[in-house]
Amino acid sequence: MLKYTVKKYCSEGSKVNQVMVAILMVFPVFSYGTAVGWLSPMGPLLMSDRTPAAAPVHPDTVSWMASVAYLVGTPAVFLFGYIVDNYGRKKALMLTSLSMAICWGLKIYSTETWALVTARAIIGFGVGGSYVVTPLYIKEISEDSIRGILGSLVVLSQNFGNLVVYIMGEYLSYHATLWICLGVPLVHLLLFPTMPETPSYLLKSGKVEEARSALAWLRCRQANDAVVDEELASLLEELEKTSSGRFFATLKNIVSDRSTFRAFRITLTITLARELCGCLAVIHFASLIFGSAGSFLMTPNQQATVLGAVQLVGSFTASSLVEKTGRKKLLAGTCALSGLALGALAAWFTARTVLGSGSTEVCAWLPVAALCLCIYCDAAGLQPVPFVVMTEMFSFQNRGTVTSVVIAFACALVSVELRVFQPLAASVGLHFVFWIFSAVCLVSTVYIVMFVPETRMRSIEEIYEELGGRKRKEAEVDITRL
């Protein structure tokens, strides 16, 4: 049995161990971020005469490379949902890094079409693992006071990965970029085995003393500390009231309960808003979009790098604001601003299409500014907040099932979006696509204001009462439905 002790550099009650584990656990998400951003600088390179492949890659192949990851990610999230419930959060996260290592290794091995598409398909396991496992892990190791901040590290690390690969794509060779990206999951596979499993999962597995040791280490306290005893008792109480139902049984409980199902619908809707706001398409095809808009002092790749830097700043903003402003205000505000920015961008492309390129020379800076504002809002609220809300609206027993369904739903949406983005833009114009993205954001803002509850520092019971659920008698309701 593993034992964890309070390190000498940790003051009693310090949060340093929670932060350290959270930083290490987002390495796979960083690797996933580099994989997502990789296509922006490397897609145009692969299609050009300077391609590292034997011949320029067809644009349709690049579209498939963008979408296939999320096509595979749709079933992969259910696989990881099964793994986290039956083999633990830690092993599932290690498997995520292993899949990312295979992805980068395959790209290094070959530049043929089958290898490129297969490698991108393997990223589906990365997205499934990153966004099913990591939010659960952070939720179950962190204290309430820092859960929002640590939860925002998920999107922060992905965005940092986007920025890093944009920079490498501009200044390093094709293969040098791949070797550096391969190093990230390998480092994680080397370091993360020393970290603990979550106390909640250890209790579920019947390892009470190991759960006590892990909890004491995470809280920087002695195992016999009263605070540790109190929190362990709370986790045990929740576990005792929770049945170990299978996936479909749990899903049936969620659907059959009025308030839980309403929370589930809200989660799906804000996920729809997050994925169809267009930001992920921008990240994948940033260089192509900027190339269509025309040069503004910088090359398309350099403009994409600016976009990545703004995205990272937005992630830091999320870390500082998510606990101060509340989830609902931050989500609604960033969604509204993103819709306005995309509307301005759609109007710019409309003017360029209808009146000609000369009509937009005076405001040639607008595409960069609008996309920067859009990506900033996405990173500051639209991306991180739904994950935080999702973990706070469901109990331990329901989280795995809900997370799997929601991420599968998101992957299915994104796979279609990325597959049709380039052909649709070529056939009807970028302006039409961005008008759709803008409309999604503005309609979603109205929905968030009217229907999404505030979850910050509130219990599940309080959230469900606001959702209009009937008062529950403890004897009549199974905790799996809360």
C-alpha pair distances (Å), 111 with each of 40, 72, 168, 422? 17, 20, 18, 22
Phi and psi based region of residue 297 (left: phi greater than 0; alpha: psi -120 to 50; beta: remaining): left
pLDDT number for residue 296? 57
> What is the three-class DSSP state of 10?
coil
Give backbone dihedrals phi and psi of 417, rounded to 5 degrees, phi first. Answer: -60, -45
Q: Which residue has the tokens 């309701």?
A: 477
Per-residue confidence (pLDDT) for residue 362, from 0 to 100: 63
Q: Could you give the CA distance from residue 46 to residue 41 in angstroms, rounded to a whole number?
A: 9
Query: Which tokens go with 279?
Result: 């930001």
- In angstroms, the Cα distances linking 138 to 135, 313, 459 are 5, 22, 17
What distance in Å separates the CA atoms of residue 340 and residue 342, rounded to the nearest whole number?
5
Domain ranges of the chain: 16-195+242-481
Distance CA 92, CA 185 (A): 14
Indicate the pTM of the whole model: 0.75
Contact 141, 86 (CB under 8 A): no
Q: Cβ atoms within 10 A of the Cβ of 237, count?
A: 11
Residue 295 has a pLDDT of: 54
Reported residue count of the chain is: 482
The per-residue DSSP string of 329-361 comes to: HHHHHHHHHHHHHHHHHHHHHHHHHHH-GGGGS
SS3 label, residue 284? helix
- In whole angstroms, what is the distance from residue 108 CA to residue 176 CA? 9
pLDDT at 245: 54
Closest CA to 112 of 183, 171, 58: 58
Alpha-carbon distance values, 89 to 37, 80, 93 (Å): 26, 9, 6
Tell me what pLDDT residue 9 has: 46
Question: Could you give phi then psi for residue 203, rounded to 5 degrees?
Answer: -65, -40
Chain centre distance of CA 387? 7
Cα–Cα distance for residue pair 62/81, rounded to 1 Å: 29
User: 459: Cβ–Cβ under 8 A, 6 or more apart, which residues?
Assistant: none
Sorted by sequence, the CB contacts under 8 Å of residue 183 that are 6+ apart come out as: none
pLDDT tens for each residue of the chain, 482 residues long: 334 444 444 566 678 888 899 899 999 999 999 998 898 889 888 988 889 988 999 888 888 898 898 889 888 888 887 888 889 899 999 999 999 999 999 999 999 999 999 999 999 898 878 878 888 888 888 887 787 778 778 878 888 998 899 899 888 999 999 999 999 999 999 999 989 999 888 988 888 889 888 888 988 888 888 888 888 888 887 776 655 556 777 788 888 888 889 999 999 999 988 888 888 788 777 777 777 766 555 777 777 788 888 888 887 777 677 777 888 999 999 999 999 999 999 998 898 888 776 666 667 778 888 888 988 888 888 888 887 888 788 876 787 788 778 888 888 888 888 888 888 888 888 889 999 999 999 999 999 999 999 888 788 888 888 887 444 433 334 434 43
To the question of domain 16-195+242-481 being in CATH 1.20.1250.20, the answer is yes
Q: Two tokens at 193? A: 């085995």
CA pair distance 77, 407, nearest whole angstrom? 7
Interatomic CA distance for residues 18 and 8, integer angstroms: 15
pLDDT of residue 475: 31
What would you report as the CA-atom Rg of the chain, rounded to the nearest whole angstrom?
A: 23
Burial of 245 (0-12, 13-18, 19+ CB in 10 A): middle
